[in-house]
């Protein structure tokens, strides 16, 4: 087998910004045959299919019809987070491998169901937390786990976007459909990136979560205000007593030099290390102002190819899918792909706990909600039962 026949489920903003390049303009394009598309939104479906020559008989409004009518090897589920589970499970049950953009799902129950289905069917499930392929993250993981810094104690991570990411008034539209920020908190859209990277680096199990949310910028938007948090501070405690604060939001001015400003400091018992993620090293000044470009994430090469870790992360998942189909995937690699950490279980647990923390919280000042502490052992046992919770170390 030379190519994977891929069915794409959902072709909205994440495909427009990232995955179209993976499918048709990357080093991974030769192994991908985008065989069919399913999306209930006529505008998105027709834009993608018209742009890339997907014939009418391979265009579907319902992914279930696509799975029934088109012979595939894999699907990519680009739906909103809270509806990742159903199309992923249906694809796995149909004998297909599945790529899912971060996070795995919005709840531990859905994440568990996806993981269990993959393990039962023997198919591969790959979660595109693309920061895992950032060379700075990989270096941090290797160096930390070598023991050179001692035991992780306290860390601070932040990831702040321009307001346009969540502003439905901005033209041209970025990610923000009118209900985007109400349905996608900074926790679900941004914190999960940093949480996954942190867990990958320190290889620890989170046990408690508490969040504080700030609603100042979004409710003041005009003419369409947004009911949602523009900044969240999520505190995570780990089994070894370590603590991390992950601060995320979308209220930087649109004139900021970068769409996203992000970095981290990790303090350990025998040293510390900084991840200068907001200094990728390329700035430009021209008539529109001063701008930062991040070629590590997405690099447009002069031959039209697009590279960078935003492309290589899902691309390498597809390479493993193809190797597995050809009987060439090492068992150790397969086993590593299917661990709870690799499949994003603990990040989903932090996500659900942080949002529950805010739901149960109380206002402490104008526009500020202080959440309650949520015990992850109790949350996971409540959702999955004691036996399944124990499988994840709870």
- Per-residue pLDDT band for 177 (boundaries 50, 70, 90) equals low
Same domain, 214 and 95: no
- Residue finishing a domain among 243, 276, 296: 296
- Per-residue pLDDT band for 279 (boundaries 50, 70, 90) equals confident
Taking Cα atoms as reference points, which of 4, 16, 7, 17 lies closest to residue 48? 16
Which pLDDT belongs to residue 342?
97
Q: Give the Cα separation of 91 and 38 in Å (integer).
A: 13
Same domain, 174 and 224: yes
- Residue finishing a domain among 287, 315, 337: 337
Residue 180 has pLDDT above 80, yes or no: no
Beta bridge partners of 59: 37
As to burial, measured by CB atoms within 10 angstroms (0-12 exposed, 13-18 middle, 19+ buried), residue 53 is exposed
Whether residue 369 is contained in a domain is answered as no
Domain span at 178: 135-202+210-296
Domains held by the chain: number: 2
E strand intervals along 64-151: 74-77, 97-101, 125-128
Same domain, 314 and 172: no
Same domain, 240 and 163: yes
Grouping H, G, I as helix, E, B as strand and the rest as coil, residue 8 is strand
pTM of the full structure: 0.96
By the 8 A CB rule, do 37 and 50 touch? no
Task: Of 9-13, 29-33, 366-370, give the lowest mean pLDDT range.
Answer: 9-13
Instruction: Indicate which CATH number applies to the domain containing 315.
Output: 3.40.50.720
By the 8 A CB rule, do 126 and 220 touch? no
Average pLDDT over residues 119-127: 98
Same domain, 23 and 156: no
Q: Give the Cα separation of 5 and 323 in Å (integer).
A: 14
- Per-residue pLDDT band for 280 (boundaries 50, 70, 90) equals confident
Which pLDDT belongs to residue 281?
86
Tens of pLDDT, residues 218-256: 999 999 898 889 999 999 999 999 999 999 999 899 999
Same domain, 249 and 104: no
Instruction: Indicate which CATH number applies to the domain containing 225.
Output: 3.30.360.10
Whether residue 357 is contained in a domain is answered as no
Same domain, 151 and 274: yes
- Per-residue pLDDT band for 181 (boundaries 50, 70, 90) equals confident
User: 22: which 2 tokens?
Assistant: 């993976």
Same domain, 187 and 288: yes
Same domain, 250 and 327: no
Same domain, 225 and 244: yes
Average pLDDT over residues 187-193: 95
Whether residue 63 is contained in a domain is answered as yes
Same domain, 214 and 316: no
- Per-residue pLDDT band for 154 (boundaries 50, 70, 90) equals very high
Run of H or E including 159: strand 152-162
Which pLDDT belongs to residue 265?
98
- Per-residue pLDDT band for 355 (boundaries 50, 70, 90) equals very high
Residues in the chain: 394
CA angle 305, 311, 315 (to 5 degrees): 105
The pair phi, psi for residue 45, each rounded to 5°, is -60, -45
Same domain, 108 and 229: no
If you ran DSSP here, which 8-state letter would residue 373 be given?
P
Whether residue 165 is contained in a domain is answered as yes
Concatenated DSSP letters for 338-371?
Answer: TSTTTTTHHHHHHHHHHHHHHHT-EEEETTEEEP
């Amino acid at each position: 087998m030379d190519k994977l026949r891929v069915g794409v489920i959902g072709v909205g903003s994440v495909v427009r910004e990232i995955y179209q390049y993976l499918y048709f303009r990357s080093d991974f394009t030769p192994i991908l045959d985008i065989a069919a598309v399913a999306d209930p939104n006529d505008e998105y479906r027709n834009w993608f299919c018209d742009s890339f020559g997907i014939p009418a008989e391979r265009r579907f409004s319902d992914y279930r019809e696509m799975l029934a009518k088109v012979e595939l090897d894999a699907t990519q589920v680009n739906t909103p987070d809270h509806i990742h589970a159903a199309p992923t499970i249906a694809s796995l049950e149909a004998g297909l491998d599945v790529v899912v953009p971060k996070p795995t799902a919005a709840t531990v129950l859905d994440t568990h169901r996806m993981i269990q289905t993959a393990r039962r069917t023997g198919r591969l499930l790959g979660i595109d937390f693309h920061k895992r392929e950032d060379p700075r993250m990989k270096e941090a993981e290797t160096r930390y786990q070598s023991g050179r810094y001692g035991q992780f104690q306290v860390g601070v991570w932040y990831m702040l976007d321009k307001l346009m990411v969540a502003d439905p008034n901005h033209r041209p539209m970025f990610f923000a459909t009118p209900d985007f920020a109400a349905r996608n908190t900074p926790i679900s859209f941004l914190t999960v990136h940093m949480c996954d990277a942190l867990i990958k680096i320190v290889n620890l199990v989170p046990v408690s979560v508490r969040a504080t949310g700030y609603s100042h910028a979004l409710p003041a938007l005009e003419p369409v205000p947004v009911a949602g948090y523009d900044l969240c501070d999520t505190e995570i405690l780990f089994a070894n007593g370590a603590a991390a604060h992950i601060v995320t939001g979308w209220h930087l001015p649109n004139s900021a030099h970068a769409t996203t400003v992000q970095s981290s400091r990790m303090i350990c018992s025998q040293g510390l290390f900084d991840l200068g993620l907001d200094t990728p090293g390329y700035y430009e000044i021209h008539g529109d102002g001063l701008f930062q470009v991040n070629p590590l994430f997405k690099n447009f090469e002069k031959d039209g190819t697009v590279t960078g870790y935003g492309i290589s992360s899902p691309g390498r998942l597809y390479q493993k899918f193809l190797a597995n189909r050809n009987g060439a995937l090492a068992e150790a690699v397969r086993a590593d792909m299917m661990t709870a950490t690799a499949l994003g279980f603990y990040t989903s647990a932090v996500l659900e706990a942080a949002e529950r923390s805010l739901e149960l919280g109380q206002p402490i000042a104008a526009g500020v909600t202080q959440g309650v502490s949520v015990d992850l052992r109790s949350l996971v046992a409540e959702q999955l039962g004691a036996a399944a919770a124990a499988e994840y170390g709870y």
